[in-house]
Structure 1
Amino acid sequence: MSRSPGRPQLLPEAAPAAAITRRDFLNGVALGLGGTASLSAAATPGSELPDPALRTGLQGQTDTVNAAAHAWRDRAGGVSEAPAERDDGVEDLLVVGAGLSGLCGAHLYAKHAGRPVRMLLLDALDDVGGHARRNEFIARNGQRLVGYGGSQSLDNPSLFSPAVQQVLQDIGVDWPRFNTQFFDHGWHERHGLNSRALVFDARTWGRSAVVLRQPGEAPASWLARTPLPPDAQRQLARLLAEPAADVLPRGMPPAARRDMLSRLTCRQFYQRHWRLGAQALRWLQADTEGYFGAGIDATSALDAWAAGLPGFSGLGLGASMDTRLSPSGRLLHQGQDPYVFHFPDGNGGVARALLRQLIPEAMPGSDMISLAEGRVQHAALDRPEAPVRLRLRATAVHLRHLGPPGEAQLVEVRYLDSHGQLRVARARQVLLACWHRVVARLTDELPATQVAALNDQVKVPLLYGTVLLNNWRAFHRAGISGLQPVDGFWREAALDFPVRMGSLGPPEHPDQPVLLHLSKVVLPAPQEPALPPREQAARGRALLTGWSFDELAQETTRLLQSGLGDFGFEAERDIEAITINRWAHGYAYEYMRPWDRCWPQGPLPCTTARRGWGRVAIANADAGAYAYAHGAMDQAARAVQELLPQARLPSWSKRPGPV
């Protein structure tokens, strides 16, 4: 079998804006900056705006954000004894990480401590919320648009644990209102946006093509319009038209079938039992990435079945899909709730609600709409006299108890402040809501077995793009809500969620500005034999950090022009701004069969890794090996219960997720 060429190579660096011709721009050679003020500002490194959400260009885990942490990582010791300026006072709780887990942990600690407390939160990023990042724009016509640059939605909130339900109630996030009030269920149908266009890139497929599928059209019909070779068209037509066929040996009971599928990757299942060739497999390769952070080459066939991929419904595997839990215990996207529980800035709205509870002056207002419409008052985050302070651009680099951990009364945390100066803070207790691999390098107090378990947890690298378009006429003419590249650079490009909250909401006329969201799990091209998912994540991170904003904006422009050009789109005219949110350390790694022999029987590395010691507890999504917002909040509840054993917190979830 021939090896798939995989991800197309990025094009060369763009010429300076002044040298870019209109032809260059429309041919995809240029950035897509077009000389507009907003995009020129986007490409200016280090440009400062009062609200980080308004910054365009490369955001998230940028080179600037990573520089301090990587310099510390590569330093040959000495930070624990280096001269440092000590902060005044002693914190009751110091939290490392101001993402959803850290903010939730701080809220729960303040609520259940039984007395007024003094807290300090440190975070290396330039805005509150960690991966729950807000992207905001002011269009040329003066309209304000808000999108999401990271953690997207509350997934199946009716199944959340009592702990998470209570937190959402505490902070005023009445999630049923998204379904009954805020989400515009009829927007797509009202505007005739009933599908997504398939986009084939000539670099990958030999010729470019944009394929629109008509409602009810047979797969063989629209597949005939793709650049796929005839044998791949026939194979996929059978798979998509006859998904209920039983392709496994007759007479196998359901338990034996599930066991067999747990030992096969999804790719192997399609190869051996559906007889799909290399070109058909390229079509399906990325279909599991959004669920598991891995393609079909590294996802078990059993998990692919639970994720709803075609070709499994006739196998008689049992009732797992009825419960909407995969056989591995993961809650999947197609659960019992509609997928509508989404602030305009995604779970950035949840982060803001937690911030309001901790520091009311930093997030004015009192209801859900003001969470969406308001802006974080960054000047109020770190006032010396306040009981809770949140310090951004502060990278923790060392932790130690002042004495034996079992006897010490204080913990010392060293961190680099926004000016690169080494400082020391002291606290009676510490919540580490940072990545497990950071914890492993933060202290010398842990046993080797726990350090190994912490290092076992990798992060899946991600790209989230947000594009401000000054109109969406091309989408309206095509009757589509987005583009679905087939084995292209981006995984998808879709018009943003139609959520109405106060002055924010989807446009009602195609001439109005709109936000487009793009996403990509960054992985290397599939290989034979397949690389384990941890190695794929490491190689993907190397790819990700090697790309400049110019290259990523160029790929964005290229996709939009190739996918929408036939419907009147002109990138130079229609694109106003591009924000690329880089998450080199993105999804928490979820255990995968057949790669992780610990799964699901255990013992699981995450249960060893998250053990607190002395006056320190560990939270974050890594602690549950589960890449969902409510998973991060559940781990915060568990960690705070460790710090405050006398408190009675609501129970945190042991399902879904391997916890």
Structure 2
Amino acid sequence: MSLTPRDLGMDVPISRRDFFDGIAVSCVAGASAASTTGPIAGPVRTAAEPATAPAALTVLGDTGEALSVPHALRDGRFWEHAGAPAPTGEHYGLVVVGAGRSGLSAAAEWSRRRPHDRVLVLDNHPEGGAGRERLRRGAAFDAVMCDKESFGADTLVTLASPGWIDRLPVAEQARADLRTLYDAPPDWLPGLSPEAKEERLAGLTYSAFLREMCGAHPDAERFLRTMSAPEWGYDTRAFGAIDAWGTGYPGFAGLGLDRSRPSRYNSAAVRAEWHGPAPEPAPPAAGHVRWSSPVVSVRDGAGAATVGYFDGHRVRTVEAGAVVLACWSAAVPYLVPDLPEERRRALSRAVRVPLLRAEVRLSDPAAWRRLGVRRVRWTGAYWCAAEFAAPDLVRLLATPCRSELGPDAGSAAGRRELFRTPYEVLEHTVRDQLARLLGPAGFDPGRGVAAITVHRWGHALAPQYCRPWHPFHPDGPSPADAARGRFGRIAIAGSDAGDGAAVLAVEELSR
């Protein structure tokens, strides 16, 4: 039975927060009387709302302070009020823009090659990266909610229990197909060489592999569809079959492919997992990181490049023998106005994947403990994953990407939809799914929620060149190849620029 908005607690005064790319969109407390048909006009504050968010509700990813200057630069508002840049008189062998993995790797590689050079890393985030949390790859789900959106009714199935496939609310043929996929998949491509099999897989999404190659029942494909969503930001209608093989999804064991190495068709992220997580690079001893210093201009000159950054009061400039741009590709054209048009077009093709996170503070977490599971995947509801993260904290994840359109077009469409979705709609879906999940264990969504914070990330995950969507992969040339080449004393090496971009950038600048 569907619960009314009042049953769900939509009119109960609680702390409500809404952030888009780290910037507060709306702050609403008390009765949620705003229309649910259009965007929320924020910020709004009522007397019932605390002046600051509860201490346990932290902003994940980029902060408003980190993004305000880049957004003003993008919108053409920054230089109207910035004033003339003030030279610091500092000169460095290398200036790196961005203190993420690529930026620190470039700085470390430069210092290894030129140990006597001074190196400066500039980053728009506060010290430590402002909690830029990433999804945990490979974290196991205890249970799957076969939800009414997919199968007409909600059925929670615990995966650790024997015979779990028999309890799925799917057609009997789908149960048989799932047993085959998980326990004894045959060789779907007999007679082909391993190389030819990998090539065939590279031409399919995982959903297409299940339907077309395995002949799986639609219920089986629907049950598996959201497997990729929590880690990749899109479901298996966009997730490549060759990467599903590389990540250990069911259905591939009978193909006889070599599991000791990745396929040449695997995306860079999947290939990297064969060697385990890479260690976090540290800033070189000869340099340092200057936090809360968003770069606003990079210009190549006759004797040196000039890098301008905002220190919170005015624009300061330093000179550099070389510059590595280890930031978002989409930001580069705004920093380097002289960049050729071909490079600008190539950079614009790096489409990041949007994500939506919610943190829910429970006033009574006993129901979740009675449920007996920690992480739950949903098969078709708005929020695709729920995790019991602390004694009274639940985190939910949604993937706005329109996966049926592919990772690039789907991310762009999903980002637009994410921006237009009213906060009240998001809160309603949060409460509704918690009621459906925890209600049988005694949870009251009207009185059981103390605070809800929503984080909308329009550009959350770096793009991956992957099959079947990018036919130039892996042989190239790729948009990253056109985007990241050297431009005078400047080279591009952000996470959008492809695998190994940091080392390539340093090699190019060292010639």
Partner-residue secondary structure (3-state), 2:88: coil
Q: Which residue of 1 aligns with 2:261?
A: 323
Q: Aligned equivalents of 2:481 and 2:285: distance in 1? A: 29
Aligned pair partner of 2:298 in 393, 396, 399: 399
Q: Are residues 1:85 and 2:64 paired?
A: no
Which residues in structure 2 correspond to 1:96-111 (within 5 Å)?
Answer: 96-106=97-107
Matches within 5 A, 1:209-288: 209-213=155-159, 215-219=161-165, 221-223=166-168, 226=169, 228=170, 230=171, 233-243=172-182, 244-246=184-186, 248=188, 250-276=190-216, 278-288=218-228
- AA aligned to 1:35 is I
Structure 1 unmatched runs, 5+: 1-10, 12-21, 135-148, 157-187, 189-193, 342-346, 360-386, 403-407, 497-505, 507-512, 626-633, 646-659
Cα offset, 1:482, TM superposition: 1.9
Letter in 1 for 2:290: L
Q: Give the match's secondary structure for 1:88.
A: strand
2-structure distance, mates of 1:298, 1:217: 30
Normalising by structure 1, report the TM-score.
0.62
The residue type paired with residue 390 of structure 1 is: R
Superposed displacement of residue 222, structure 1: 1.0
Q: 1:553 to 1:333 in 2, by over 3 A?
A: farther
Superposition pairs of residues 432-447 of structure 1, within 5 angstroms: 432-447=325-340
Q: 1:463 aligns with which of 356, 377, 389?
A: 356
Residues 27 and 549 of structure 1, relative CA distance in 2, 3 Å threshold:
closer
Structure 2 residue aligned with 1:151: 134
Q: Which amino acid aligns with 2:14?
A: G
1:409 is aligned to 303
Q: Which residue of 1 aligns with 2:397?
A: 519
Deviation at 1:425, TM superposition (A): 1.5
Q: Does 1:612 align with 2:490?
A: no
Match of 2:14 in 1: 35
Q: Which residue of 1 aligns with 2:419?
A: 545
Q: CA distance change for structure 1 residues 597 and 414 in 2, over 3 Å: closer, same or farther? A: same
Residue 539 of structure 1: how far off its partner (Å): 1.0
**Cα deviations by residue, 1:266-288 (Å, 9 ceiling, x for unpaired):** 22222223334554433222223
> What CA deviation, in whole Å up to 9, does each residue of 1:51-73 have, x standing for no partner?
99958476545777656544533
Within 1, Cα distance between the matches of 2:17 and 2:64? 22
> Shift in Å at residue 208 of structure 1?
3.5
Matches of 2:107 and 2:193, distance apart in 1? 49
Distance 1:549-1:397 versus aligned 2 partners, 3 A rule:
farther
User: Equivalent residue of 1:541, what SS?
Assistant: helix
Counterparts of 2:51 and 2:5, CA distance in 1:
34
- Cα RMSD, aligned residues only: 4.5
Gap change, CA 1:312 and 1:209, over 3 Å in 2: same
The residue matched to 2:197 in structure 1 has which SS?
helix
| Mapped contact 1:467–1:575 kept (Cα < 8 A) | yes
Q: 1:559 and 1:113, CA in 2 relative to 1: closer, same or farther beyond 3 A?
A: farther
Question: Whole-Å Cα distance in 2 between the matches of residues 55 and 216 of structure 1?
Answer: 37
Deviation at 1:490, TM superposition (A): 1.8
Deviation at 1:265, TM superposition (A): 2.5
Partner of 1:373: none
Deviations along 1:465-504, one digit per CA (max 9) or x if unpaired, are 44444665333322211221111222211234xxxxxxxx
Whether the aligned pair in 1 keeps the contact of 2:384 and 2:396 (CA below 8 Å) is yes
Deviation at 1:121, TM superposition (A): 1.3
Amino acid at match of 2:398: K
**Aligned-residue identity in percent:** 27
Say if 2:371 is the partner of 1:390.
no
- 2:253 is the counterpart of 1:301: no
Q: Distance in 2 between matches of 1:263 and 1:122?
A: 39
SS in 2 for 1:251: coil
Which secondary structure state, in structure 1, belongs to the residue aligned with residue 409 of structure 2?
A: helix
Letter in 2 for 1:619: A
The Cα shift of 1:310 comes to 1.8
Query: Any conservation in 2 of the 1:247–1:273 contact (CA below 8 Å)?
Result: no
Pairwise CA distance, 1:433: 1.4
Q: How many residues align?
A: 483
* d(CA) in 2 for partners of 1:460, 1:391: 26
Check the 8 A contact 1:105/1:640 in 2, yes or no: yes
